[in-house]
Structure 1
Amino acid sequence: MTAQAVAQHQTSNRSLYPSKPVFEAALNVVRRAPVPQIPDVVMALRRELMRAEPDLKVASGLIAQDPVLTGQVLRVVNSPAFNLPAQVASVHQAAGLLGLARLTNLVTAEAINRLLEVNQGPVRVLWESILGTARIVTALARLTPDIGEDEAYLFGIMHDVGSLIFANVTDNYIAEWSFRADSTPSELLIHERATLGTDHAVVGFLLANNWKLPEFIGLAILHHHGTRHLEAEDRRIPHLIALGQLAHYLVALANGTDETAEMLEYRDQAGHMLDIGEREWEALCRQAVNGGW
């Protein structure tokens, strides 16, 4: 996708988009990396979703063509984070319970999961961190009625995917990521811009656009390390950012790196945005320390 194409997709959130030079710098890095193409089933689902009268039967049939993807989606749907009243046994049943939009988000997230999965080496640690944060963000979605578990999960899988791309184009990235990501992410962004000319948030936004993710998720990815209240007409954007920052703070708390100025700011900003009470905070912190995600 070109910068011009992104500009054509801008809506009332236009001011939140990156400038053309910033976008093109990210595009130059992505061109150097082995970025896979999103599966045809995801694009077909999104086309069905855009129809005037989407057909759940057609959508279920598309997903069922990929048995592995079907199994992955059912595993996530039946996880505690979704808290469904009964076990879901088929994609068609999931479509009926969740609706096509939510199901499409889940299929997209699981397809990306399969595309980017790393089985060995130092990058595996980064990938496991992304998956762990995605699980926490999904569980936290209950804190705001604006964000569904499917949207939180898709954001969680995608928000740090730019770091995964960087790990494939520069040798020392994992060491810097390991040192900075859970305590001083702003310093990680500075390192990325100095060495690569862009940062992982912009690259994540670029991929979100290229893979036709919902606009508000792409913009939340772009701004997920922001430490100021984000003014956006679509309130899902700052709420999703708050969920992501709360998840990062809880990870830092579990790792003993929560006392940095940035992590405390993440905590305070998320608590204010999500209106979390004292008892809820205590419960979340206990869960984080006890590894209950």
Structure 2
Amino acid sequence: MGAASIPTKQEMEAAYEVIRKLRMPSVPDIITEVQRLLQEPHLRIDEITSLISQDATLTGEVLKAARSPLYGLSEDVTTIFHAVKVLGIKRLNEITIAVALKASLNPMNEFHAKLWDESLMIAAGSAWLASASGHVDRDEAYLAGLFSNIGCMLLSQGNLKYEILYEKARAYPLTTHELEARLMNTNHSVVGFIVAELWSLPERVCKSIYHLHDTNITPSGVDDLGALISVVRTATAHMEEVRMIKVPESMEFLKFHDSAREELMMEEATYEEFSEYMESLI
């Protein structure tokens, strides 16, 4: 079974040639500090909640996100400390990263907002599938889904042709990567990998973002990343089906769907429940 690779030197150089002209999402100091606190051997919840509470905007957005159906909570969350009790540290960290990433991408145009909404759905769906599978890390799945579209959002900056390219890839038997390579000599998976590394995401998450669209690699052919890639591919396919009125049979992620389901080994009843969950997010 092959090892999951990272982008080649040539791929990285081609990507940097493009993104050096773009506005990259910078990592806020608060994210760096939260990550530092999470890595300490003796975790102090009060320090993390105090840190987040110092930022009124972040506090409001975290509480708003924690109440969202995307997180499946059945009770109202009124304070950051309450959010920690209900969500746990790791899920609070997910929300904090999501809020900070969105803030770093503002202002968003209509196309970016659409991609962001889809990213949240993919992240939530990936996390759901990871939990249901029992053998995929939920937090890794959420982050891989959340950052799955970040490359698209960056490559579309100041490029009016990109939105047309993106929709064309959805409607015709051409992958997004093929069209991006023709237009820009790079692709959004390499760019996504670079951003994920910039945000200090786990190596497995960075690699899964890079391999997500790789048609030459089957899930079982990427060492132990197969299941992680499969949950994001499956969540993406379901997101496409839920959000689009008519999904072309050539849709890229629908091609991955059967092999991804086989990799995850889930019963039909679980997938039906998952489909209902994805529909509830609209």
Q: TM-score, normalised by structure 2?
A: 0.84
Equivalent positions of 1:1-293 (< 5 A) are 15-84=4-73, 86-147=75-136, 150-181=139-170, 184=173, 187-227=175-215, 228-232=218-222, 235=224, 237-254=225-242, 255=244, 256-260=246-250, 262-285=252-275, 291-293=279-281
User: C-alpha separation between the residues in 1 aligned to 2:21 and 2:220?
Assistant: 32
Deviation of 1:61 after TM superposition, in Å, equals 1.2
Distance (Å, rounded) in 2 between the aligned partners of 1:136 and 1:101:
17
Asked if 2 retains the 8 angstrom alpha-carbon contact of 1:180 and 1:187, the reply is: yes
User: For the structure 1 residues 45 and 263, does the alpha-carbon distance in structure 2 shift closer, same or farther, using more than 3 Å as the test?
Assistant: closer
Contact 1:131–1:157 (8 Å) recurs in 2: yes
Cα 1:183–1:48 shift into 2, 3 Å = farther
**Quick check: 144-153 or 108-117, which moved more?**
144-153
Asked if structure 1 preserves the Cα contact closer than 8 Å seen for 2:170 and 2:252, the reply is no
Q: CA deviation at 1:90?
A: 2.0
Give the distance between the partners of 1:14 and 1:148, measured in 2 at CA. 19
Query: Relative to 1, partners in 2 of residues 1:148 and 1:91: Cα closer, same or farther, differing over 3 Å?
Result: farther
Question: Displacement of 1:33 after TM fit?
Answer: 0.3
Number of aligned residue pairs: give it. Answer: 276
**1:34-89 deviation digits (Å, cap 9, x = unpaired):** 11311110011111222232322211111111122122222333333433464332
* Deviations 1:200-249, CA, capped at 9 Å, x for gaps: 0110010010111122211111111134124455x4x3323212211222
Bigger RCO of structures 1 and 2 (CA < 8 A, at least 6 apart): 2
- One-letter amino acid of the structure 1 residue matched with residue 92 of structure 2: L
How far is 1:169 from its partner? Answer: 4.2
What SS does the aligned partner of 2:269 have?
A: helix
Amino acid of the structure 1 residue aligned with 2:265? D
1:5 match:
none
* 83 and 62 in structure 1: CA distance in 2 versus 1, 3 angstrom threshold: same
Q: CA deviation at 1:196?
A: 1.5
Q: Which runs of 5+ in 2 are unaligned?
A: none
Superposed displacement of residue 271, structure 1: 0.9
CA contact (8 A) 1:105 1:151 kept: no
Shift of 1:14: 6.9
CA contact (8 A) 1:81 1:149 kept: no
Residue-by-residue CA offset, 1:118-150 (whole Å, 9 max, x unaligned)? 543444433333334334334444322344655
Structure 1 residues 17 and 263, CA gap change in structure 2 (3 angstroms) = closer
The answer as to whether partners of 2:219 and 2:230 remain within 8 angstroms in 1 is no
Same amino acid, percent of matched pairs: 27
TM superposition shift of 1:168: 0.6
